[in-house]
Homo-oligomer: A and B are copies of this chain.
Amino acid sequence: MSRRARILVINPNSNEAVTEGLRQAVRPLCFAEGPEIICETLTEGPFGIETQQHADSVPIPLRRRIEAANDVDAFVIACYSDPGLHVAREGTSSPVFGIAESGVLTALTRADRFGVIAIKSRSIPRHIRYLRQMGLMDRLAGERPLEMSVAETATGDRTLDRMIEVGRELKEKDGAGAIVMGCAGMARHRRPLEEALGIPVIDPTQAAVAMAIGIIAVR
């Protein structure tokens, strides 16, 4: 293949600041000889994905975007609900990665049981339902919410403190040996959170892009 391979990371919400955060998150995975990694906003998406309605508004425009893409070798859907994952897979022969799926699977390589930090408690039943769908409940230690808005987690100074607090409960009360950050917009907190907790912390977008790089490289 003469052209350079390309991974398209799609932020399915229309908040450009989140997309910019994704660009920062995946930068360490951009190797000159590896695939180009492009982060893009789904302009038709809602400003944030906090409800089932938000999540269910995404699949069809996402599918259109994916079908319209040229020269893309792998797709990443960068929202922790993995909205549209299956319809995207149906619409392309290229591999499609959901960050929740990849984040959790990567956590399984780092500990016997993992914990998830959610933004809000109302997302937890949706996440649990999805873990059950994936058949991975036996490895879940627990999921606990920050009870902050996506906006707050993106900008607030208190976010890291609160993440450490919740992460400690997952580790100490629930027995989590690794933590998955249950949101696309938390990547910059990964390293300090890992240092504070003393157990591996997974940013799901990074996990998905790493798996995409692996699949593309060996084609």
A residues near B (Cβ < 8 Å) are 25, 28-29, 31-34, 51-53, 55-57, 59-60, 63, 84, 86-87, 89-91, 95, 97, 101-102, 105-106, 108-110, 112-113, 124-126, 128-130, 132-139, 175, 177, 190-191, 200, 203, 206-207, 209-211, 213-215, 217-219
A95 to B55, CA, bound (A): 21
Closest to A29 in B: B217
Interface centre among A110, A128, A218 (most CB of B within 10 A): A218
Query: In the complex where A53-B91, A90-B53, A138-B132 touch, is A102 in contact with B109 (Cβ < 8 A)?
Result: yes
- Interface-centre pick from A128, A134, A210, A214 (highest chain B CB count, 10 A): A214
Closest residue to A136 on the B side, CB-wise? B135
Give how many copies assemble into the complex.
6
Question: How many Å lie between the Cα of A31 and that of B217 in the bound state?
Answer: 10
B residues in contact with A215, CB < 8 Å: 106, 110, 200, 210
Could you tell me if B97 and A109 are in contact, using CB atoms closer than 8 angstroms? yes
The chain B residue sitting closest to A55, CB to CB, is B87
Query: In whole angstroms, how far apart are the Cα atoms of A129 and B63 in the complex?
Result: 20
The one of B133, B210, B219 that contacts A129, using a Cβ cutoff of 8 Å: B133
13 contacting pairs across A/B (C-beta < 8 A)? A28-B217, A29-B213, A52-B87, A53-B63, A53-B90, A56-B56, A56-B86, A95-B110, A105-B109, A106-B214, A106-B215, A125-B177, A211-B211
Pick from B86, B139, B207, B218: contact of A214, CB under 8 Å: B207
**Chain B min CB distance to A69 (Å):** 16
Chain B residue contacts of A200, Cβ below 8 A: 95, 215
Complex alpha-carbon distance, A210 and B133, angstroms: 25
B101:A52 contact, CB within 8 angstroms: no
* Beta-carbon contact of B63 and A56 below 8 Å: yes
Residue among B34, B109, B135, B191 making CB contact with A219, cutoff 8 Å = B191
> Given A105-B105, A110-B95, are A206 and B214 also a contact pair (CB < 8 Å)?
yes
A216 CB → nearest B CB, Å: 9
Residues of B within 8 A of A126 (CB): 86
